[in-house]
C-alpha cells in the first residue's frame, strides 16, 4: 500500500497505519520515499495514457509518499482495500480511510493493490530486494 503525498503532507500516516494495525495486520516493510515518473509509470502501467494520468503523476511525485508492505492472512489485499473504501472518496463510506479523511478523486490518500498478483508485482517495484 502507499500513503500518497496528500496523506503524508496532512500528517495522516500514523492514523492510516494504526487502522491496519488495529485490524490485526502487520507492517512488514515501509519507507518514506519521493517517487519518480519512471517508477510511477511501472506502478501505474494500466493507467498510462488515460486522461487523469499526467495529473496523477504530478501529484504522486510532488512530495514524499510512504510505501509499505502489509502482511496478514490470505487475501490481505482485500482487507486493506475494504479499510480504504472506494477509489472516489466522495462515495467511500464513513469508517473507511477515504470516507473519513478524503474528498477528491486524485488526492485520495492511499493506494492498495487490487489482487495478490498486483501486490506481488508492486512489491517487486518498490522493494526489489
Q: What is the largest CA-CA distance in the chain?
A: 38
Choices 5-13, 15-23, 26-34, 104-112 (CB under 6 A): range interacting with ligand CMP:
104-112
Nearest approach in angstroms of CB 15 to ligand CMP is 18
Cβ proximity to ligand CMP: between 15 and 114 the closer is: 114
57: contact with ligand CMP by CB under 6 A: no
Nearest approach in angstroms of CB 56 to ligand CMP is 5
- Calculate helix-pair angle for 13-23, 76-84, nearest 10 degrees: 130
Extract the C-alpha cell encoding 48: 498510462
How far apart CA 121 and CA 42 sit, in angstroms, is 10
Among the listed residues 30, 105, 123, 125, the single contact to ligand CMP using CB under 6 A: 105
Determine contact, residues 110/98, Cβ cutoff 8 Å.
Answer: yes
Active site residue 111: yes
78: contact with ligand CMP by CB under 6 A: no
- Of 29, 22, 26, nearest to 2 by C-alpha is 29
56: contact with ligand CMP by CB under 6 A: yes
DSSP3 helix / strand / coil % (the chain, rounded to 5): 50, 15, 35
Residues labelled catalytic: 111
Contact footprint for ligand CMP (CB under 6 A): 47, 52, 56, 87, 105-106, 108, 111
Amino acid at each position: 500500500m502507499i500513503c500518497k503525498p496528500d496523506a503524508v503532507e496532512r500528517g495522516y500516516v500514523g492514523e492510516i497505519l494504526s487502522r491496519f494495525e488495529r485490524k490485526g495486520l502487520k507492517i512488514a516493510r515501509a519507507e518514506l520515499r519521493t517517487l519518480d515518473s519512471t517508477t510511477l509509470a511501472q506502478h501505474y502501467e494500466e493507467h498510462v495514457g488515460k486522461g487523469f494520468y499526467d495529473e496523477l503523476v504530478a501529484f504522486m511525485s510532488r512530495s514524499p509518499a510512504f510505501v509499505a508492505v502489509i502482511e496478514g492472512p490470505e487475501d490481505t489485499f482485500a482487507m486493506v482495500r475494504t479499510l480504504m473504501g472506494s477509489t472516489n472518496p466522495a462515495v467511500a463510506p464513513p469508517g473507511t480511510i477515504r470516507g473519513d479523511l478524503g474528498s477528491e478523486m486524485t488526492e485520495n490518500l492511499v493506494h492498495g493493490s487490487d489482487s495478490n498478483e498486483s501486490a506481488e508485482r508492486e512489491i517487486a517495484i518498490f522493494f526489489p530486494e
